[in-house]
């Protein structure tokens, strides 16, 4: 697996060099102030992988609907590093709330 891929060119190189999977990640956006969101990079990386290896999205999502959008854009699976339980409590069934 190779993590930190955000361009089609890097995805193509990952496939050519035998990567088993790609993780689309901007490492929390801490490297640059103007780095684009991982979900914005996803379609380009999926195109570069050309269906030959799985493409995972490393976080950056805040709502369940964003997970479905990422899957629709071609992600194989999504990593949720910081789930937002406050958001879930707001709209969750009464049994979830304390």
Question: Is-contact 22 44, C-beta < 8 A?
Answer: no
Give the C-alpha separation, 70 to 86, whole Å: 22
Contact 15, 53 (CB under 8 A): yes
- Report the C-alpha gap between 73 and 69 in whole angstroms: 6
27 is catalytic: yes
| Residue 54 phi, psi dihedral angles, 5° rounding | -70, 150
Determine which one of 12, 27, 35, 80 is catalytic. Answer: 27
Q: Tokens in use for 3? A: 């993590």
Which positions are annotated as active-site residues? 27
């Amino acid at each position: 697996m190779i993590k930190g891929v955000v361009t089609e060119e890097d995805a193509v190189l990952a496939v050519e060099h035998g990567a088993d999977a790609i993780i689309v990640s901007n490492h929390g956006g801490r490297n640059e102030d103007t780095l684009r969101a991982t979900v914005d990079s996803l379609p380009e990386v999926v195109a570069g992988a050309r269906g030959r290896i799985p493409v995972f999205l490393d976080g950056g999502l805040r709502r369940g609907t964003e997970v479905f959008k990422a899957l629709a854009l071609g992600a194989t699976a999504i990593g949720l590093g910081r789930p937002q339980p406050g958001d879930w409590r707001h709209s969750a069934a009464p049994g979830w709330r304390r």
